[in-house]
Structure 1
Amino acid sequence: MNSKQLISKIKEKILNNEYENKKLPTEDMLMEEFGVTRYSVRKAIQNLVDHGLIYQVQGSGMYIKERRDDCLVLSSTEGLVMGFSNKSVTSTLLDLKIVEADDDLANDFKCKIGTPIYKVTRLRYLDGVPFCVEYSNYNKNIVSYLNKEIIESSIYEYLRNDLKLNIGFADKIISSEKLSRKHADLLNLMENDPSLIINDTVYLTNGSIFNSSKVLYNYKITKLFDVANLK
């Protein structure tokens, strides 16, 4: 079992309220339960701390934090389906095409001009309410195949489970702007209403950029969550 699988297993148990007294087992107990090394356990624990799921009490152990199921976790690279595990996340594909990278896309992806790029536009819902309009680009040399079924399910689950890509980290730029009539109609809002914008550049663990996106969020139902490390 690798670190990602271990993180997934522990997270599943946390979400299913399987740990008594909201306390995580000791490192030794986790090593024995999952048959992994201490290094893997510590790496998984750090990931769960970084994502705001657990916290450490000196001399007492690791405790499970109160869940923030209504928030978009900024530090997460899991995608909406995993990030909002308690809600129904659905998507509607609005547009899918392949283009050759121009100067701007080549700069975004640090790739050669002419590299094939998937351009995906989709509308995403939380419990049936329009949540965001997403414009995403994927380097086709890395993300070899996308179709309507994958896009309307979970792209990131497909990338991890089917393409076996190791997703590393994301640079995020957060801003705001007024909605155009087109985007307001998609989000069931009014033209010139505010929208939260997040621009992502997402890397594999080897440093390759495979995804860049611009996402416009429905301001009425969007909350952001991140963990501040005050050490």
Structure 2
Amino acid sequence: MNKSKFQIIYDELAQQIQDGILQASELLPSENELAVTYEASRETIRKALKLLSEHGYIQKMQGKGSVVLDVKKINFPISGLVSFHELANKMGKRARTDVIQLTEQQMSSHLLDHFQLKEQELIWEVKRVREIDHEKIILDKDYLLSSVIPGLTREICEHSIYEYIEQELGLTISFAKKEITVEPPTNEDRDLLDLKGYDTIVVVKSHVYLEDTTLFQYTESRHRPDKFRFVDFARRMK
């Protein structure tokens, strides 16, 4: 099927942003200039710009025009509890999730320590590869207590586990303890991710708690190092 004119313009501008020809914080040419360049109507240009905005490539600023966003790195808050689904919503179709594994099984002794339990319990093991701009750059390995989070399905894992927990199960996710390390990639990392020769992986290990302080999830989020910027707000205390 032939692409419409605005989709062709969108593809060309998105590619220029990805390639760095149009750089972060740079203003796009005006609608009039783009209309002349692409021999298109202003309405067609507006449709292309709307799609760029929806997919996280630009930010429209009143009175200034369209500013190119930094798509090379994705901001992950260190202190916040933000799901990939919530971040992906800002990127539109640039992001997708592939569920590699969803199994319910007895937890290992290794996980017994993480969950601070004396006896083994059933646990969900979920592995998901996160793809952004057609590159597989995150491997999320989640372990959730079955007794607390029942009824997980592949569809839920593809969409948002946190949304299921909060909206369907009616539970409140409260806080997490996080540890960030830089490690050599495992064979699994190399098999599932597009590492492009990088010999390190940024690993964010999180223990996540409900409002009643129940530790219900342990997760390892394994990131290709060039794509992510971990951010936080810090205040000096005296």
Q: TM-score range by the shorter chain?
A: 0.5 to 0.7
Equivalent residue for 2:122? 116
**Partners of 1:167 and 1:148 in 2: CA distance:** 21
SS in 1 for 2:120: coil
**Partners of 1:225 and 1:68 in 2: CA distance:** 14
Equivalent position amino acid for 2:150 in 1: S
Equivalent residue for 1:201? 207
Q: Does 1:220 align with 2:226?
A: yes
Q: Is the contact between residue 198 and residue 224 of structure 2 (CA under 8 Å) also seen in structure 1?
A: no
SS in 1 for 2:228: coil
Give the gaps of 5 or more residues in structure 2: 1-68
Q: Is the contact between residue 117 and residue 138 of structure 1 (CA under 8 Å) also seen in structure 2?
A: yes
Q: How many correspondences in the alignment?
A: 165
Structure 1 pair 190/141, CA: closer, same or farther in 2 (3 Å)? same
SS in 2 for 1:152: helix
Give the gaps of 5 or more residues in structure 1: 1-66
Q: Is the contact between residue 90 and residue 153 of structure 1 (CA under 8 Å) also seen in structure 2?
A: no
TM-score relative to the length of structure 1: 0.65
**Equivalent of 1:170, from 162, 176, 180?**
176
Q: Is the contact between residue 137 and residue 194 of structure 2 (CA under 8 Å) also seen in structure 1?
A: no
SS in 2 for 1:160: helix
Equivalent position amino acid for 2:105 in 1: V
**For residues 157-213 of structure 1, what are the alpha-carbon distances to aligned partners after superposition, in whole Å with 9 as ceiling and x for unaligned?**
111111111001110110011223431242211466211011110001111011101
Identity of aligned residues (%): 23
Equivalent residue for 1:211? 217
Equivalent residue for 1:130? 136
How do residues 137-152 of structure 1 correspond to structure 2 at under 5 angstroms? 137-152=143-158
**Equivalent of 1:77, from 78, 81, 88?**
81
**Partners of 1:199 and 1:104 in 2: CA distance:** 14
Deviation at 1:115, TM superposition (A): 1.2
Q: CA RMSD in A?
A: 2.1
**Partners of 2:90 and 2:205 in 1: CA distance:** 25
**Partners of 2:201 and 2:171 in 1: CA distance:** 31
**Partners of 1:137 and 1:181 in 2: CA distance:** 20
